[in-house]
Amino acid sequence: MTLPELSSQSLADQAYKALRAAIVQGDLPWGDKITERGLAASLGVSPTPVREALRRLEQEQLVERTGPRSLRVATVSPQARSESGTIEAALEGVAARFAAEKATKTHLERMQQLLDAADDAAVILREDRDAGRALTPDQVERIFNAVRDFHAQIELAADNIQLTRTLAQVRAFSRSERLKVAAAQLNAGATSQIQRYGQHHQILAALRDRNSDLAEQLARVHALSSAGDLAGWDA
């Protein structure tokens, strides 16, 4: 594992951001044993800022202490995943409502570009799957990244710092876990993935129409469906 070295400015805050990102991205997987000194060495700082960062991560329940000197990246139970997914869905609905009210032409054009890129990748993916060819990780990740960026663009258009921070706190699944589940479902031909993919265009249409009620409803239903699948797939 390679973590970026930190500068001297706000080391505890930088350590927190770097470690949190590593957990979310899956570079520090769930259940992995970690130590202050090991993390400090990887980040190129003393143990003190890492200790402060780990305290913050413990408060967010992303890290748990298993003994006086031992820690590990927390795991997330199916019940906790389901509850976090319900909260996240409500917040994503609010983000879509705000975006319907605030999105600029540039925001909407960027969302369309992202869905166009995802559509192109989806066509190739379907052709390969129909022909019996195994899906490659790159194929799945290309669609996954475009869709994630689409949702990120909605949050950007919502333009609400408190909402963005709260969403970041409640998201229980790391990027790697979500990608693993998406790949498993696509390879298995899960119809829920195909149905949910089409919902992105419906959400964008509601945003273009400035229909905040519909945008919120569509985004919430979409996110709840995704959370339900994630909570039920323990590959």
pLDDT band at 170 (very low <50, low <70, confident <90, very high): confident
Distance CA 139, CA 133 (A): 12
* Mean pLDDT for the stretch of residues 14-22: 91
Indicate the residue type of 234: D
Between CA 84 and CA 77 the distance in angstroms is 10
3-state secondary structure of 33: strand
Question: In this structure, how many other beta carbons lie within 10 angstroms of the beta carbon of residue 183?
Answer: 18
| Structure tokens belonging to residue 124 | 């190739």
Task: Please give the pLDDT value at position 144.
Answer: 83
Answer yes or no: is pLDDT of 148 > 70. Answer: yes
% the chain with pLDDT above 90: 44
Report the C-alpha gap between 25 and 106 in whole angstroms: 28
Confidence category of residue 229, pLDDT binned at 50, 70, 90: low
Residue 84 is predicted with a pLDDT of 82
3-class secondary-structure state, position 70: coil
Residue 142 pLDDT class (50, 70, 90 cuts): confident
Q: What does the alpha-carbon distance between residue 41 and residue 170 come to, in Å, rounded to a whole number?
A: 29
Contact 29, 75 (CB under 8 A): no
Question: Residue 124 to residues 178, 179, 225: CA-CA distances in angstroms?
Answer: 21, 18, 24
Determine the average pLDDT of the residues in 118-130: 82
Sign of CA dihedral 9, 172, 59, 33: negative
pLDDT at site 187: 64
Beta strands in the chain (DSSP E): 33-34, 63-65, 71-73
Report the pLDDT averaged over residues 198-226.
Answer: 94
* pLDDT for res 193: 62
Please give the single-letter amino acid code of residue 192: S
Q: What is the pLDDT of residue 153?
A: 97
Q: Is the pLDDT of residue 217 over 80?
A: yes
The reported pLDDT for the residue numbered 82 is 78
C-alpha 2/C-alpha 37 separation (Å) is 14
Average pLDDT, the chain: 84
Stretch 8-29: mean pLDDT, rounded? 85
Please determine, for residue 43, whether its predicted confidence score (pLDDT) is greater than 60.
Answer: yes
The per-residue pLDDT for 235 is 43
Instruction: Tell me the pLDDT tens digit for each residue of 63-106.
Output: 998 887 789 998 877 777 778 888 999 999 999 999 999 999 99
Ramachandran region, residue 171 (left: φ > 0; alpha: ψ -120 to 50; beta: rest): beta
User: Minimum mean pLDDT among 32-41, 72-81, 178-187, 197-206: which range?
Assistant: 178-187
> Quick one: angle between helices 191-208 and 212-232, nearest 10?
160
Res. 177: pLDDT tops 80: no
**Lookup: tokens for 227:** 């959370």
Tell me the whole-structure pTM to 2 decimals. 0.75
In DSSP terms, which residues pair with 33 in a beta bridge? 72
